[in-house]
Amino acid sequence: MIQQADNDRLKEALGHYKAGRLDKARAVYLAMLSQQPELVEAMQMLGIIAYQTKEYDRAIGYFQQVISIKPDWPETYNNLGASFWEQGKIEQAIAAYKQAIAVKPDYPDAYNNLAWALEKQGKRLEAIELRARYANETDQRGGSSHQSGATPEKLAAMLKKEKRYQEALAHYQQEIACYEKEQTRGIDPKCADAYYNAAKIMEEQNRREEAIAYYEKAIAIKPEAKFYNQLGKCYLRCEKLAEAARQYEQAIALKPNYLDAICDLGVILQKQGKIAEAIGQYRQALAIKPDDPEAYNRMGTAWGKQGKLAEAIACHQKAIALKPDLAEAYNNLGAVLQEQLKLQEAIGYYRHAIALKPDGITFHVNLGECLLLLQDFQQGCIEGEWRWRMEPQTLGSRSGPTPGRLERLGKPLWDGSPLAGKTILLQTERWGYGDVIQFIRYAPLVAQRGAGKVILETYPALRRLLTKVSGVQEVVVKGEPLPAFDVQVPLMNLPRILGTTIETIPARIPYLYAEEKHAEGAVKYSGALRTARHPDGIVKVGIMWASDPTRPTARKRSCPVSLFLELSQIPGISLYSLQKEHTDILDGTPIQDLSTHLNDFADTAAVISQLDLVISVDTSVAHLAGALGKPVWVLLPFSPDWRWFLDRSDSPWYPTMRLFRQAKPGDWPSVFAQVKAALTAHPVHPGISLGRHV
């Protein structure tokens, strides 16, 4: 038993220790040990002082002496472990920490130290499990794991790093429950961080609606700029642009120099077609951080959208100069060069981007399009099939419509081998109606490979049109229950699988047919077309001036309707609009609006069958007219989609098609000058001699 005099001397030594007078404290403890060699309190403090003065061997000696006399002090084992740790003796440290826990199972410092030691050995999962076990045991004892350092938040962060998202989320939710349980008056502001962290995990799991709800709860408790910013990102990924913009504006209001929010707001404005405003946002970002490569890169994409390619190139080059390993800037610079048809240079930049970031999906897709433009079908298709790895939404200057990840449906992908009576599912991709119309030509070839049955999965608007396609036995709409099948294949993979070259494109037309008996509205109007009392020689021309506005390339693939109005002045020409939307601009013009009669593509096909010619920008209607064998003139931007190739006025896909190309980016007047001349040269039936009929 310690006498009162010893207590007084221990207090004296402790006073010196707390005041930082370590030498005086050591002298008192040594004097006490000379009189009482087994005074463990003095030994323990001498070990601690030796540890603090980095005399680790001496510290270890003192702690081991204490343990030999009093083996039930957990603190001594923990201190011994810390001394071994400082010497890099991790195994001995782990053994000491484990002994401390064995003596005192609810010892937080020992748990944390042991976890760190395990991590030092690379045993991260063991460390996570240890912290999780301690947190659970603490909760079961009615304690608080928050006080131990082994909080659910820390555990969740570790689990998230290991991509164990479900477990991480469970720990964040545990933290939320702890805060809500402990709060007495109002919710602890720290609970907001738990909601925020849980929401980020939900985003990783694509549970975006739940994530939005959690971000909103975090904001309700503690309206921080970063919470609004992350909620904006979540809305942006959901393509809820107006909601995203509001969140970014709130974030910027709270933190005016919030670079991330300012740039992302620019992205939203760009996606909304407000290019000048987007550029303003990027300029604001650069005013805050003049050397920000991301801001330059994004500004470059905005200039590209405006068709100001020189400015776009300058921005991307500046981004690369500031950050030579910014793969996205190389990709975007390649995209601008592709718009200028500098394809070899573009390919070089795409390959550089891939070298920096081999899993850059958009980089591969863009490279594939360039190769296909140059008629390299095999390698172009291989690169293009990276599109299946895209997320449903992707930002970028030339990312294109994104199909989302391939639905495997539990069946193997067809590789072109003999089908031997198997049932095959032809999958429609989430790209565009025109792609389906173009590539359904391969269905008979698939059937010839020995398929027992060919099933086509497509969109509601195409179902009636494609019901009678040769080689297809059943058509189902996306989202409907699928019949049994053995293998699957995306339609756009078929050119590669079947070994297509420019010479072997299957171009026998027509391969689609108008069936008026199934298109009540269209038949009614088609009848009007047939019986209209026009003077002899009137040519009925269907027109399309606008591409799907939701497509990233819609701006360059659409032209002013006023240019078509000029065609209506040509004697003997009668124009009929095949547009489905935004046709109110036709009021008071000589162009007849057929939109109310076009309920699906079967209706459109029925109307086209009664026309003499279709003149269209690059849209699905152009593909439909070509597949029906109708004379069709397609108006192309300077940098066209890959399927139209380069420097040719005909199309190997559609024998009755004629291509009119811009002489320079955005130059629609020159295209219409060509069209006007062609219409004048063929006043009665302009299209009869425009292509080869097979």
Could you report the per-residue pLDDT of 274-292, keeping only the tens digit for each? 999 999 999 999 999 999 9
The Cα 604–Cα 522 span in angstroms is 7
Which residue range is the domain that position 631 belongs to? 516-681
Question: Length of the chain, please?
Answer: 694
CATH number, domain with residue 470: 3.40.50
- Our count of domains for the chain comes to 2
Least confident of 189-198, 354-363, 553-562, 654-663: 189-198
Same domain, 559 and 469: no
The per-residue pLDDT for 409 is 65
Cα Rg of the chain (Å, integer) = 36
Measured between alpha carbons, how far is residue 432 from residues 352, 369, 439, 479 in Å?
29, 16, 11, 17
Structure tokens at 435: 């792609």
Query: H or E segment at 606?
Result: helix 601-608
Same domain, 629 and 537: yes
Same domain, 456 and 543: no
Same domain, 493 and 523: no
Q: Is residue 538 part of a domain?
A: yes
CB 652 within 8 A of CB 638: no
> What's the mean pLDDT in 558-563?
94
The per-residue pLDDT for 682 is 61
The per-residue pLDDT for 429 is 78
**Mean pLDDT, all residues of the chain:** 85
Q: Looking at the predicted structure, is the pLDDT value of residue 215 above 80?
A: yes
The per-residue pLDDT for 50 is 92
The per-residue pLDDT for 402 is 37
Q: Looking at the predicted structure, is the pLDDT value of residue 5 above 90?
A: no
Same domain, 598 and 465: no
Least confident of 133-147, 149-163, 224-238, 530-544: 133-147
CATH number, domain with residue 586: 3.40.50.2000
Give residue 400's pLDDT band: very low, low, confident or very high (50, 70, 90). very low
Same domain, 592 and 633: yes
| Ramachandran sector of residue 322 (left: φ over 0; alpha: ψ -120 to 50; beta: rest) | alpha
> What's the mean pLDDT in 333-337?
97
CB 661 within 8 A of CB 675: no
Q: Is residue 531 part of a domain?
A: yes
Structure tokens at 385: 């099939």
Q: Looking at the predicted structure, is the pLDDT value of residue 311 above 80?
A: yes
Q: What percent of the chain has pLDDT over 70?
A: 82
CB 471 within 8 A of CB 506: no
State the amino acid at position 269 in one-letter form: L
Same domain, 549 and 484: no
Same domain, 521 and 656: yes
Q: Is residue 382 part of a domain?
A: no
pLDDT in tens, 622-648: 999 999 999 999 999 999 999 999 999
Query: Among all chains, which residue has been given the structure tokens 């944390």?
Result: 112
3-state secondary structure of 435: helix
DSSP state letters, 347-378: HHHHHHHHHH-TT-HHHHHHHHHHHHHTT-HH
Same domain, 623 and 660: yes
The per-residue pLDDT for 426 is 96
Give residue 411's pLDDT band: very low, low, confident or very high (50, 70, 90). confident
Q: Is residue 136 part of a domain?
A: no
pLDDT in tens, 658-675: 999 999 999 999 999 999
Write the CB contacts of 35 (distance below 8 Å, at least 6 apart in sequence). Answer: none
Q: Looking at the predicted structure, is the pLDDT value of residue 313 above 80?
A: yes
CB 464 within 8 A of CB 600: yes
> What's the mean pLDDT in 670-689?
74
Task: Pick 230 or 7 by higher pLDDT.
Answer: 230
pLDDT in tens, 81-116: 999 989 999 999 999 999 998 999 888 888 888 888
The per-residue pLDDT for 692 is 39
The per-residue pLDDT for 183 is 59
The per-residue pLDDT for 694 is 34
The per-residue pLDDT for 534 is 47
Q: Is residue 153 part of a domain?
A: no
The per-residue pLDDT for 254 is 95
CB 311 within 8 A of CB 330: no
Same domain, 472 and 558: no
> What's the mean pLDDT in 14-34?
89
Query: H or E segment at 160?
Result: helix 152-161
- Residue 420 per-residue DSSP state: T
Q: Is residue 76 part of a domain?
A: no
> What's the mean pLDDT in 25-29?
90
Q: Looking at the predicted structure, is the pLDDT value of residue 363 above 60?
A: yes
**What are the phi and psi torsion angles at 423 (to 5°)?**
-90, 130
Least confident of 175-179, 232-236, 351-355, 362-366: 175-179
- Residue 252 per-residue DSSP state: H
The per-residue pLDDT for 108 is 80
Same domain, 440 and 470: yes
* Strand 573-577, strand 657-661: pairing: unpaired
Q: Is residue 38 part of a domain?
A: no
Choose the final residue of a domain: 433, 463, 497: 497
The per-residue pLDDT for 388 is 78
Distance linking the first and last C-alpha atoms of the chain: 111
Same domain, 485 and 628: no
Write the CB contacts of 272 (distance below 8 Å, at least 6 apart in sequence). Answer: 241
Q: Is residue 377 part of a domain?
A: no
pTM score of the predicted model:
0.72
Q: Looking at the predicted structure, is the pLDDT value of residue 181 above 90?
A: no
Least confident of 104-108, 274-278, 397-401, 683-687: 397-401
Work out the angle between the directed axes of helices 259-271 and 293-305 (0-180°, nearest 10).
10
